[in-house]
Amino acid sequence: MSGNSNAVRSAKASPSRAGLDRRAARRASTRQEIVDAAWQLAREHGLSGLSMRDLGDRVGMRAQSVYSYFASKDEIYDAMFREGYAAFVERMDDYDPAPGTDARTSLRLFAHRHFAFCTSDPVRFQLLFLRTIPGFEPSPESYAVAVRALASIQTTMARFGVTDPDASDLATAVFTGLTSQQIANDPGGDRWERLVDRAADMLLAEVAPHLHDARPESNEDEETR
């Protein structure tokens, strides 16, 4: 957008700056198209059932051409991993309860958001939180995104008064536990979803008992949505 606009109409022998930008944009958009298709296929055939051939078919290429965009299948998993955690952070950070909302209500909201994010896409949940693909290890850069995501949970919880350093580890354990049991043992049902509010309260009582007891009014059995 800034500077170099006088270079736009330069010689066509070597591509102009704008030409490079366009090419890069085109390439990025194709990469995105491939990753989108990879998510689709993973949902259809399982995460480890993803194949380069299917992937090529889905984006209208020969499988081999996909290698012009990603050097290997694991690089595609890596892009999915990074994108998944980016979505997680975005989803967890845009959480914005009314000012003055008590900790109990805030944590319940947070818990529901976490649960909904995870159960809405079991394959993504598996990739981000379970890590069960035989050969795959996220690249250092992608792993850094994951670590930042966990840190962001800590920050969010501090926003409503929970400062226990182990609280976020306990929280992720409880929330991913609810999610994985729901997905594995009652897919489509609500056997563990029903317990989300209760789990949030349980957690708050443990990591910040003062915030748990000092609630504005008695809302012991109300549900938060």
Partner DNA sequence: GTCTATAATCTGATAGAC
Partner DNA sequence: GTCTATCAGATTATAGAC
| CB of 208 closer than 8 Å to CB of 103 | yes
Least separation in angstroms between CB 137 and a second copy: 11
Interface region with DNA, contact rule CB under 7 A, candidates 72-80, 123-131, 155-163, 209-217: 72-80
Binding partner of residue 129 among DNA, a second copy, none, CB cut-off 5 to 8 Å per kind: a second copy
Q: What is the dihedral of CA 97, 99, 105, 111, to 10 degrees?
A: 30
Q: Please give the residues from 59 up to 98 whose contact with a second copy meets the rule CB under 8 A.
A: none
- Tell me which of 16, 58, 74, 87 binds DNA, using CB under 7 A: 74
Copy the structure tokens of residue 194. Answer: 């029903």
Is residue 148 a contact residue for a second copy (CB under 8 A)? no
Question: Please, how many CA atoms are within 13 Å of residue 153, restricted to the half-sphere of its CB?
Answer: 23
Taking the C-alpha atoms of residue 85 and residue 2, their distance in angstroms, rounded to an integer, is 31
Q: Which is nearer to a second copy, 177 or 216 (CB)?
A: 177
Q: Which is nearer to a second copy, 32 or 181 (CB)?
A: 181
User: What would the DSSP string read from start to end of 124-160?
Assistant: HHIIIII---SS----HHHHHHHHHHHHHHHHHHHHT
Through-space distance between the first and last CA atoms of the chain, rounded to whole angstroms: 43
- Tell me which of 5, 32, 51, 120 binds DNA, using CB under 7 A: 51
- Tell me which of 30, 40, 154, 172 binds a second copy, using CB under 8 A: 172
Copy the structure tokens of residue 217. Answer: 């009014």
Binding partner of residue 64 among a second copy, DNA, none, CB cut-off 5 to 8 Å per kind: DNA
Least separation in angstroms between CB 131 and a second copy: 4
Look at residues 80, 87, 89 and name the one whose alpha carbon lies nearest to residue 32.
80
Least separation in angstroms between CB 137 and DNA: 14
Taking the C-alpha atoms of residue 175 and residue 107, their distance in angstroms, rounded to an integer, is 11
| CB of 16 closer than 8 Å to CB of 10 | yes
Is residue 158 a contact residue for a second copy (CB under 8 A)? no
Which residues bind to a second copy, rule: CB under 8 A? 45-49, 126, 129-135, 150, 166, 169-170, 172-178, 180-181, 183-185, 191-192, 194-195, 198-199, 201-203, 205-206
